[in-house]
Amino acid sequence: MTTVAARLRNRVAIVTGGASGIGRATVVRLLEEGASVVIADLNCDKGETLIDELINRGLGDRVRFCECDVAHEPDMIHAVRLAVREFGRLDCMVNNAGIGGAFGPIVDTHVEDWDRTHEVLLRGVFLGIKHGARQMIRQGEGGAIVNMSSVAAISGGGGGAAYSAAKAGVLALTRCAAVQLARHRIRCNAVLPGTIVTPLLTRGGDVDSMRQIAKETQPWPEPGVAEDVAPVVAFLASDDSRFITGESILVDGGIAAAGPNIYRGDHPLGEAIKERMVASGIQSFDAGTVADLQADRTAEYQGPPRTVLITGISRGLGHALATKLVELGHTVIGCSRTESAVAELRTRWGPPHRFDVVDVCDEVQVRAWADALEAHGQVPDLLINNAAVTHRPAQIWRLSTQEFADVLKVNVLGVVNVLRHFVPAMLKRGTGIIVNFSSGWGREAAARVGPYCASKWAVEGLTRVLAAELPPKMAAVSLHPGIVNTDALRQNFGAAADKYPSPEQWVQVAAPYILNIRPRDNGKALSVPGMTEFRGWGPSR
């Protein structure tokens, strides 16, 4: 058997979430045992700080950093390719990146927080297994995959519901992968840490007091630290575990044996964590994801002025968004089918803003518009497909073929026409963000809005296809703008539309949120924060 200090020599590993906490300790341990490591993490500042520390220790030639959102498949593909390009191969994939996710009662959990929790904790592990295993299979020499689960996966009170469910999913996924990959000599195991005092847990609070609380709520007399977990990961990455696969290893100081219930009643550790969360001003127990990302995206946009193209600009959300963007100093280009509305916009805002009478359903008009703008050097940095129509509320069999066609023509063909004639110029430049307005009815269904639902589901699918076709510095996203008191909403909700925010209220949140969409969001289905709460149909239903 090789010595511990050398047992990972000539091995190459990727550690997601490797810039801090358990991931950081794992990176250091793998390097100390001879491996080369790619740190994949969203936190560039911490990643660069760690790289500098490792360079000072003489380990810089065996470590690289890449910015990586584990829920975003292109980022995971990039991390694997970087490992192969820099070190020639991949032998171990450590799927460690995590967040605390939504906490609190299930009945009070927002679906957006639930989804983001699972995006990172479960989807991220799936993508790590998928692309890590693909590379190992190509190499034909086997490998090891280590997935970070939690003691919360086996306890109904060991964590928030979203977190516990996702971590339990990691265990099931680990077993499935172990069975499927065994014939390729790829081992897949899970590690279940207990209460490990990391930045995720303390959120900048008193570390010593948190360690004391952790110590008092577990059988083992010392609190757990990240360095207690890292050697287990290194063991599972090495040949010393060559006949272990599909296993789940607890590293918890006896918590599971004792049967804790952290988040119910007056458990001191659960209460201490919640106090720190509340003091931090958040409602999700996470580390810079659900609540913090929304805060980042709704914060004031800090980038340079942009050229923004908006279709359907004459009223509603399009008009409110144009007004706000001009106020913020951006150049707005817009179109509408209504000549009087366009004339009014031209009078209100002169050059460099530009407004044209264009029917997005007419490809000839859209092509001419795109050509004219490109000739004047007005290629959009941000393209917003907002133009859409609705129809009278009625069951599918009570709507005419023409009513279906009219909705699909504007809401789908109109989007396609704009994409076909503006995206090529954006591709030439190599940058740009495309936002296709969808709807809650593009992700769920409701009675009496069949054509509209069909059109917005189509926009969702079309956006995903487009996202797969764009280069790295561009992005296409679908956006559920929320439930806003517009003419279209009043057509379906009647007087109940007054329960919802006006376009002028909506845009205060929506404008910075849209401006802060980035290339790493490519392919995502986004929603304007705080604007999707359902408040009732009204008598028209």
Per-residue pLDDT of 200-257, as tens digits, reads: 554 555 667 667 766 666 778 888 899 999 999 999 999 999 999 999 999 988 888 8
pLDDT at position 223: 83
Token code pair at residue 349: 């805002």
Contact 400/532 with Cβ under 8 angstroms?
no
pLDDT digits (tens, 9 = 90+) for 91-126: 999 999 998 777 778 888 888 889 999 999 999 999
CB atoms under 10 Å from CB of 225, counted, come to: 16
Cα 260 to its chain centre, rounded Å, is 31
The single-letter code of the amino acid at 241 is S
pLDDT at position 104: 72
d(CA 202, CA 167): 20
Helix (H) or strand (E) holding 441: none
- β partners of residue 335: 311, 356
3-state secondary structure of 189: strand
The single-letter code of the amino acid at 296 is D
d(CA 187, CA 456): 42
pLDDT digits (tens, 9 = 90+) for 17-27: 999 999 999 99
- β partners of residue 95: 147
Mean pLDDT for the chain overall:
88
> Which domains does the chain possess?
9-198+225-253 (3.40.50.720), 305-527 (3.40.50.720)
pLDDT over 80 (residue 312): yes
Range list of H helices, 268-315: 268-279, 290-298
d(CA 58, CA 520): 32
pLDDT over 50 (residue 286): no
Do the strands 36-41 and 12-16 form a parallel or antiparallel pair, or are they unpaired?
parallel
d(CA 493, CA 237): 57
Contact 124/93 with Cβ under 8 angstroms?
no
pLDDT over 60 (residue 338): yes
pLDDT over 80 (residue 62): yes
- Average pLDDT for residues 121-133, to the nearest whole number? 98
Q: For residue 361, which of 336, 380, 333, 384 has the smallest C-alpha distance? A: 336
DSSP 119: I
Contact 226/191 with Cβ under 8 angstroms?
no
Select, from the ranges 262-266, 296-300, 440-444, 455-459, the one with the highest average predicted confidence (pLDDT).
455-459
Give the confidence band of 289 by pLDDT, cuts at 50, 70, 90: very low
Q: For residue 519, which of 382, 324, 343 has the smallest C-alpha distance? A: 382
DSSP 194: -
For the full predicted model, state whether its pTM sits above 0.85. no
pLDDT at position 535: 65
Q: Which of 131-140, 152-161, 418-427, 458-467 has the lowest mean pLDDT?
A: 152-161
The CA–CA distances, whole Å, from 431 to 40, 381, 470 equal 24, 7, 10
In sequence order, the 6+-apart residues with CB closer than 8 A to the CB of 454 are 404, 407, 408
pLDDT at position 199: 61
The residues annotated with a catalytic role in the active site are 452
